[in-house]
Structures are given as C-alpha cells and as structure tokens.
Amino acid sequence: MPVRVFITQPIPEPGPSIVAGCAERVEHNREDRVLPVEELRAKVEGCDAVLCLLTDRVDASVLEAAKGCRIFANMAVGYNNVDVAAATRLGIMVTNTPGVLTEATADLTWTLILGIARRVVEGDQEMRNGRFPGWGPLYMLGGDVTGRTLGLIGPGRIAVAVAERAVGFRMPILYTGRRPSPALDALGARMVPLDELLSSSDFVSLHTPLNAETRHLIDARALTLMKPTAYLINTARGPVVDEAALVDALRAGRIAGAGLDVYEDEPRMAPGLAECSNALLLPHLGSATHATRAAMSRMAAENLCAALRGQRPPNLVNPEV
Ligand code: DGY
C-alpha cells in the first residue's frame, strides 16, 4: 500500500518537499481556508500521517476517522487544537514545533509592549488622518518602558527570550511558574506568586500554554489586581484571558491598556474590543516571519517523516503512545 499523507492547509517550503520525499501519495489542500471538522474527517481517513495547523480542530472524531494513522504533526508550538488524550488512546503520535518560533514571538511581544505603551498605532493614525496639531506638552502621552517592572506568566522559552530583551531596558523582571526557571533566574528575574506579579508589574506578559488550568487565568479578578497604569500583553493563546472582562477593564480604565496578538475565539474578537483605543490588536502574527514559518514547516515535516520511517519523532508531545 502506498504511504498516504494529508497536509491540511497551504504551508511554505520546505515542508511539502520533505514530505514528498518520504511518502508516495501526498494530498495537499491548497485552498486558503480551514476545513470544517466534517471535511477534515473525510480527508484524514486512510492516511498514514497528517500535517496540520493550529487552526485545524483535531478532535476525537477526527482522530477516530484517522484510525491507523501514525502521526498528526502540528505546525505550531501550541497543540491545544489537538485532543492529545484521544490521540494517545488511539495510538497516534502528536508532535509540535518548539524552539524555532521563540525569537520571532519574543520580538512581536516587544512590538506590543513598545507599541501600546508609546501609542504607536494611534500616533500613526493621527498622522494619516491629518489630526497632528503640532508638538504639544500634553499631546499623546504614554507609559514608560525603561526601568519599569515586567511580569512574565509562564516561564518557558518565549518568556526567557522576552526577558533577555528586557535586560536592555533595565527592567526588574518577575515571573510565575510551577518551578523556578534557572534561565530566568540567571537574568536576575524573581519568581513570585501570581497575585504579587499582577499587583507589582507594569507590563504583564502571558507565555503559558492553553490548558484547563490556564483558561481564563486572567479574569475580572486578576485584572482588578493589576495597577491602573499597567499593560496586559498576550502572545500566547486567547482563551488564557477572559476577553469580555478585559473589554470591561479597558473601557473603565482599570488598566492602562492591552497589546494582543491572540483572541478567545479567533478570528473573531469580543464585542467592544475593536472600539478600545487603549488596545493594540494584531492578527496572530507571533511566528509570522518568512524564516520562522519555513523553519516550522521543516520541523513539522521532519517529525512526520521520522514517524513514517518508524523512528521516534524529535518533538513528540505524547511519548506514552
Ligand atoms: C504557535 O506555534 O503555537 C503559534 O501560536 C503560531 O504563531
């Protein structure tokens, strides 16, 4: 039987060429749309391997339709879109693409930190709309960054890369996590309980995976703990924040602003968010650079081909399979 692979969405090279080198029959969906679950189920049936994206909902029904498949190689570091427990039960390996998008995502986190504090997009709109009245001592004042306290929620690779950049801004750094992070400690960061981080930070930046523990970690209560002069930054996953509560907080000025790259129900936003001028809103661009997406594509394809060769894929998230 020829080895069959399905690639769920258009992806950049070199992933497709690498996959073509390890499978006889590759079907690549080149339509720029996310397949609804029913269509995805039909496409994965009889496949030996699937290369999927974070916008594909790989639930238990999709995995059951793919019974006998060896691997779902997710082209993302986050894999909350895949029901990993169901995959494990069905003997299907799941892989992700850690590491290769760390620097790009940290750069974008900093774009949001500087952009929201210094009102970059609002300023750009002033110029384009001919509203710049000339320099004024009270005109478009923002928040300081240098020397202010950065709070990192979740001490993973991306948080460390964000902290490395914060050293140049002479920022005291706080973090929360299950256990101390030697990498963050080496940068002078201090591990503190969540509530202390929320009440002491000028920038609260989210870097946790999405799971049952982190869903709505930043809710109305957490937002109330933040300083009225503080900013919330999210380049992790939208549902970590209760977006309706955030809109309330932004409207009421309970926090100074938010820089968001991810949303609770992408591609939609909570009602009212678009009208908040104290929010800087990007469309999930954390890893969106040419080189980063190529590296993610390569890594996902190499994971997939390793599984087809009967090897253990390097980035297996369910080793118990
Ligand atoms: C990921 O890989 O999880 C990122 O969100 C992609 O930008």
For ligand 1, mutation pick of 105, 107, 211, 299 (most atoms within 8 Å of CB): 105
Q: Please report the atom of ligand 1 found closest to the CA of residue 79.
A: 3
Q: How far apart are CA 130 and CA 17, in angstroms?
A: 49
Residue 12, pLDDT score? 98
Residue 218, pLDDT score? 98
Residue 61, pLDDT score? 98
Q: 78 alpha carbon to ligand 1 midpoint, in Å? A: 6
164 belongs to the catalytic site: no
Q: 141 alpha carbon to ligand 1 midpoint, in Å? A: 33
Q: How far apart are CA 228 and CA 119, in angstroms?
A: 17
Q: Pick out the chain residues at pLDDT < 70.
A: none
- Active-site choice (119, 284, 293, 298): 284
4-100+290-308 shares its CATH topology with 102-281: yes
Q: 319 alpha carbon to ligand 1 midpoint, in Å? A: 21
For ligand 1, mutation pick of 53, 55, 75, 77 (most atoms within 8 Å of CB): 77
Question: What fold characterizes domain 102-281?
Answer: Rossmann fold (3.40.50)
Count of residues in the chain: 321
- pLDDT, tens digit, 9 for 90 and up, residues 234-282: 999 999 999 999 999 999 999 999 999 999 999 999 999 999 999 999 9
Cross-strand pairs, 150: 173, 203
Residue 1, pLDDT score? 85
320 belongs to the catalytic site: no
Q: Please report the atom of ligand 1 found closest to the CA of residue 78.
A: 3
- Give the right CATH number for 4-100+290-308 from 3.30.300.130, 3.40.250.10, 3.10.180.10, 3.40.50.720: 3.40.50.720
Inter-helix orientation angle 157-168/102-117, to 10°:
50
DSSP-derived letter for residue 267 is T
> Structure tokens of 65?
């339709």
Determine whether 117 is exposed, middle or buried from the number of CB atoms within 10 Å of its CB (0-12, 13-18, 19+): buried
Q: How is the chain split into domains, by residue range?
A: 4-100+290-308, 102-281
Residue 297, pLDDT score? 98
The answer to whether residues 258 and 234 touch, using CB atoms and an 8 Å cutoff, is yes
The answer to whether residues 74 and 82 touch, using CB atoms and an 8 Å cutoff, is yes
pTM: 0.96
